[in-house]
Structure 1
């Protein structure tokens, strides 16, 4: 349970973020990788891909669906995502007078590895249940570091020298928080999960290629059946289902952000059949490509 002082600190940061952005939407800040998110009303469930990041909900609430599990995240809670993961997400608590407000910071994998090495942290125990997304009550020292990072954009002369230091502090404090073991798991070499994470990173860069299970399994030095088992346990999807979601999400982004039509987008992400693309797109997002993009542009 957060104290009254902690709640006041969180509300003060929420007011600062709202005063900075002043309107609904997703807002880049003057600090690379740090974004502010504001919604004035609950949203429809949206398929998206969460990346390696720390999110802090300052006001309102949202809900994620992953592995057929519903995960609420409300004001006063932080959420760590340790690798690129398809989820269904929607804001559940928001109004014009009390909007949903959150800060999201993309994390640097190399910095995580550096901090683990410098702190000489022990590896997680083998029986630890690794979670690709973990949600916990705010660590207030971590909240303070995030607040200082956000406010730093108002001090441009200090930003280049201080921002990297605060980002490193955030990683250090994360390691000491309830999220810490999941970050250590991410950094531990040789575990099946770390091998799967390498494949996930490779898929993100090569999703347009035609790829077989055997080829992916070879990267992890596992048999195809063992690889498939570990992959699904970690991501909630088979390798080919995960690859398909990556392709369809990228196609959606290309249509929404860059104005590609469905045919162009399907070719861009590696589909040879436009009709197959349309069927799989409709199955994942609930509407054919053109109607889905029209709906998204209304938000």
Structure 2
């Protein structure tokens, strides 16, 4: 319980609502004095939207959300969080939100180097993989994690405290995430990141070269792994193969190009690496539920920007 007798989640909700009170009612994101911390609010359920989730953690304070991680559909609500330790293509939608009781969340960007250094410096013991799946997952927050967030958010009103203690509480939050029961795969990914090899390096390479043909033997050589081991480890962490990951990046980038400028589908397809416009159209429709022209028209009607 906080000093006012409310639970940490209730106290956090009140503070987030107060922060949004100075913003337009249709504003969904509220930045803070900390560039890696932001608040989220939705007053109505949203359509299912696909995008690239950067390394981050979002704790739901109020409302409910549904996410598609690979082939898995996960619904979660207040007190649960979505964590991604990699750049991951996901689909998500807010399923429970009203003007009277909006969806509220807190997002913190994850600094993987800082987290890996913390893990090594504290000599944290390896955690067992307590669940199947990769390093993008939904988990339940405990009181210690929620309380750390409450203390961090409270410091936003006291700049002196924020300057002196903000980084310490950030490290505490990172520690809680690494040592959570669901953190086994996360631990191994951070260790790989710290060592600068393996799947982490493969993801960086694919993101930088997504428009080029992906040859598994060449990628395996770059990251110092066998083809079979790379494929196995990549799928264990991302719940998709390297080729599937590349395809999702290509399609998301093509969607961004189509929405942001005067460009036709064939040109977008070639720019992101497709040689066949018909194949691009088929895979685009399969991924986003509509052909490019129709999908972009719907996004523009909804006022969506990517």
TM-score range, shorter chain: 0.7 to 0.9
Distance 2:185 2:162 in 1: 29
What is the number of equivalent residue pairs in this alignment?
A: 294
In structure 2, relative to structure 1, the CA distance for the partners of 1:114 and 1:42 (3 Å cut) is same
Deviations 1:226-269 (A, max 9, x none): 4333333432322112101012112323444x445345644553
In structure 2, relative to structure 1, the CA distance for the partners of 1:148 and 1:260 (3 Å cut) is farther
Contact 2:85 2:112 in 1 (8 A): no
Contact 1:79 1:136 in 2 (8 A): yes
Contact 1:50 1:81 in 2 (8 A): yes
User: For 1:82, which of 69, 85, 103 is the aligned residue?
Assistant: 85
Contact 2:134 2:236 in 1 (8 A): no
In structure 2, relative to structure 1, the CA distance for the partners of 1:6 and 1:230 (3 Å cut) is farther
Contact 1:62 1:91 in 2 (8 A): yes
Task: Give matches, 1:84-233, under 5 Å.
Answer: 84-125=87-128, 129=132, 131-156=134-159, 159=162, 161-189=164-192, 195-233=198-236
In structure 2, relative to structure 1, the CA distance for the partners of 1:116 and 1:105 (3 Å cut) is same
Superposed CA RMSD: 3.1
Per the normalisation by structure 1, the TM-score is 0.83
In structure 2, relative to structure 1, the CA distance for the partners of 1:190 and 1:207 (3 Å cut) is closer
What's the CA shift for 1:108? 0.3
In structure 2, relative to structure 1, the CA distance for the partners of 1:21 and 1:270 (3 Å cut) is farther
Q: Which has the larger displacement, 114-123 or 233-242?
A: 233-242
Correspondence for 1:13 = 12
Gaps of 5+ in 1: none
- SS of 2:10 mapped into structure 1: helix
Contact 2:198 2:225 in 1 (8 A): no
The answer as to 2:59 corresponding to 1:56 is yes
Per the normalisation by structure 2, the TM-score is 0.82
- SS of 2:19 mapped into structure 1: helix
